[in-house]
A = this chain, B = another copy of it.
Amino acid sequence: VILAAAKVFERRGYAAATIAQILDEAGVTKGSLYFHFDSKEALAQAVIREQTDWRNMNTEDCGSALERLVALSRSFASALVRDPLVRASIRLTIERTGLGQGELEAYQGWLDAVRELLVQAEEEGDLRESVDPEAAAYVLISAMTGLQLVSEALHHRQDLHARVDDLWRMVLPALTSQKVLARLRTKLSLAV
């Protein structure tokens, strides 16, 4: 039903997607669609709202904050590979079409979550003192955003998990000490 919209939005973007395409993909008729959603924009917002929140997946994870952060990123990558709704939401968020002005809050929410984890890691003594949580969160969020884009464009996201691990291999040495790094490598199976 609504998943069809996500697919089309993800494939063509908001503006280029036409209602007819969504109709065709979903196999429903115009009237039916407009009974559930008042407008194309409402449909897009529903897509964003309906995405299964991949952030909850690892709340029960009990590990150090840094481990939870890596797990979060992997959970995100999995959601991206698995769930078209998440993919469509990302696309709709990145193209800032002014859909309810929610884009800023989305980015800000991610930033806050990551920074929070970094602060916890700092309290746990897992962070180098030279690291600024705010700046690091910014770079991490950006890198993940970019990875997903490039992986999509070049390899249809098939290599996303490997690339996320590559990212961690490249930034963890700057975030934490050799000792913690070694611990993380074994726990997270991040081969050198």
Contact = CB atoms under 8 A, between A and B. Distances in A.
Interface residues of A, number: 46
A103 B153 CA distance: 8
Interface string A181-192: 000000000001
Q: Copy number in this complex?
A: 4
Contacts of A95: 13, 95
Contacts of A130: 192
Contacts of A57: none
A85 to B, nearest CB: 19
Contacts of A44: none
B94 A149 contact: yes
A95 B11 CA distance: 10
30 contacts: A12-B15, A13-B95, A13-B97, A14-B16, A20-B38, A30-B35, A94-B94, A94-B149, A94-B153, A104-B153, A104-B154, A107-B150, A107-B153, A107-B154, A108-B154, A138-B150, A139-B167, A142-B146, A142-B147, A142-B163, A143-B147, A144-B146, A145-B145, A145-B149, A145-B150, A146-B147, A146-B149, A170-B171, A171-B174, A174-B174
